[in-house]
Chains A and B, each alone.
Chain A
Amino acid sequence: MLSPVIDPEGAPFWRYAAQGELRVQACADCGELRFPPRPCCPHCRSFGIEWRPVSGHGRVWSYVVPHPPLLPDYAERAPYNVIVVELVEAPHIRLVGNLVTGPGAPIDSLPAERIRIGARVRFVADPASGLPQWVPERS
């Protein structure tokens, strides 16, 4: 599986995620959240940055189910799902990820038929890779 090729702006996201914490870059001056991370605030042009914890609750904004041809590691798991999650506290902050049955479960663990746009999901960290994953919210 591909690992994220991390740039300086994005590094804190991955560091926090590996610790089981979901944080989003925010402007230290005007407070606006932004994603993906970048050096400067597009609202007030401040270079001040902070990493704000978010609840990790979100909703499925959209999803796809890739089929081959794919890179070999992914072809082995296909069909699997990829989702875009919008965060409940900031719907314009959307994160790409996989909806899985539990922390550390593979990307094809949850059948695509069970995914719906608007479904409530929750952030977990993959204990092996440290990457964010998403699990269905118990309703």
Chain B
Amino acid sequence: MAGIKDATAIVGIGQTAFAKQLAEDERTLACRAVVAALDDAGIDPGEVDALASFTMEETDEVELAKAVGFGDLTFFSRVGYGGGGSCATVAHLATAIAAGQATVGVAWRSRKRGSGPRPWRNTVAQLPTPAQWTRPYGLLRPVDEIAMLTRRYMHEYGATRDHLFNVALACRNRANQNPAAVMYDRPLTREMYMTSRWISEPLCLFDNCLETDGALACVVVSRERARDCRRPPVYVHSAAQGLPAQHHGMVNYWNDDPLTGPSWATARHLWKHADFTPEDVDVAQIYDAFTALIPLSLEGYGFCGRGEGGAFTEQGALESGGRLPINTGGGGLSEAYVHGFNLINEGVKQLRGSSTAQVPGAATCLVTAGEGVPTSALLLTNRS
């Protein structure tokens, strides 16, 4: 079986400004990001025949297609579980194009999370199963649910707040190099981190991602078509989704090993279909709604052993020039929180050599979606 290895490439990326509050509505922002991505690729919107986005995306296919002027669409899909779906949007397009179901695919996410309502405040939407088992007790927000796993992780493996700070600092340092990042001109110090207010102990303010308005998009085509595009192709080398057995989402408290999240199952499939290993990854964009997701993901995707994710962050490992530079645009913690789509585009920038924190000669990049929910991941490369 041929599979999808290097069969498709990302050839265009687009984004709006990122800010706490943007004037335009989500639909307009979605259109702007999509038009920018197609322009970057040098592909006319009339050629688009496939779309993929998140189930949480508010701009639907009909609205986008009629506004931007797409052709006849023959494939469109939505992926669930919030930020767990980011990489899967590209994976669905790559699979559809490799299978001949479409030729030009666009994935996108537009969100006014900065100026719009906080999703957890909608108790009607939040309360059905399994929330009946958690929310009445005041475990209300994603940060509370992940803090519960974080406390246990720190207890079991000796991870510390300094390890979480290492994550926050690496992301902030990269944002300080990226003029598009919300935190571009806001350095972070250990003193600021250690004295900041709690959100849900053991997680403090700086362990939480930003709340951002913004939109991003990317364009996926076949490897043959990619040769004719304006930019050098960034190949989708391997792609995977993962919903492990007996998984319960962010309240994953009810199986034998709650700290083994969906990244483990996703990673098994991802590496099985790849020609390289974690040691060969030059740069990684790891979903960072919360700092604690990074050590958990580092373990899940095989960069270190079980329980070693905290220690892995030591000695500047996640910084430029470190063992594994991560979130080189600043990530969700310090560039923008748009459900991880900025991590996909940053991966493409690295493999084009155009990141604001470029890893010299980067040829391979891991991009992940949210750990702690049914998730997805991509291995991208500029070699083929």
Contact = CB atoms under 8 A, between A and B. Distances in A.
Given A4-B132, A64-B147, A66-B140, A79 B127 contact: no
A82 B137 contact: yes
Contacts of B202: 64
B136 A62 contact: no
A79 B132 contact: no
Contact of B254 (A6, A69, A93): A93
B151 A92 contact: no
Contacts of B201: 64-67, 79, 112
Interface in A41-71: 42, 61-67, 69-71
Q: How many of chain B's residues touch chain A, expressed as a range?
A: 35 or more
B199 A2 contact: no
B148 A63 contact: yes
B152 A66 contact: no
Q: Which 10 A-B pairs have the closest CB atoms?
A: A65-B201, A4-B132, A62-B152, A5-B127, A64-B147, A67-B198, A62-B151, A94-B253, A82-B139, A96-B134
Given A10-B129, A63-B148, A66-B200, A97 B118 contact: no
A104 B149 CA distance: 27
A89 B163 CA distance: 35
Contacts of A92: 254-256
Contacts of A96: 133-134, 137, 139, 251, 253
Contact of B140 (A7, A71, A97): A71
A35 B200 CA distance: 25
Interface of A: 1-7, 9-10, 35-36, 42, 61-67, 69-71, 74, 77, 79-80, 82, 84, 92-98, 107, 112, 117, 131
B361 interface: no
Given A65-B198, A92-B256, A7 B128 contact: yes
Given A2-B123, A36-B130, A64-B147, 19 more contacts: A2-B135, A4-B127, A5-B129, A9-B129, A10-B133, A35-B133, A35-B254, A36-B133, A36-B254, A42-B246, A62-B149, A62-B151, A64-B200, A66-B201, A67-B199, A67-B201, A71-B140, A77-B138, A80-B138
B129 A66 contact: no
B155 interface: yes
A77 B123 CA distance: 18
Nearest to A5: B127
B138 A70 contact: yes
B121 interface: yes
Contacts of A4: 127, 132-133, 135-136
A71 B200 contact: no
Given A65-B201, A107-B137, A5 B132 contact: yes
7 contacts: A4-B132, A64-B202, A66-B140, A69-B118, A79-B198, A92-B255, A95-B133
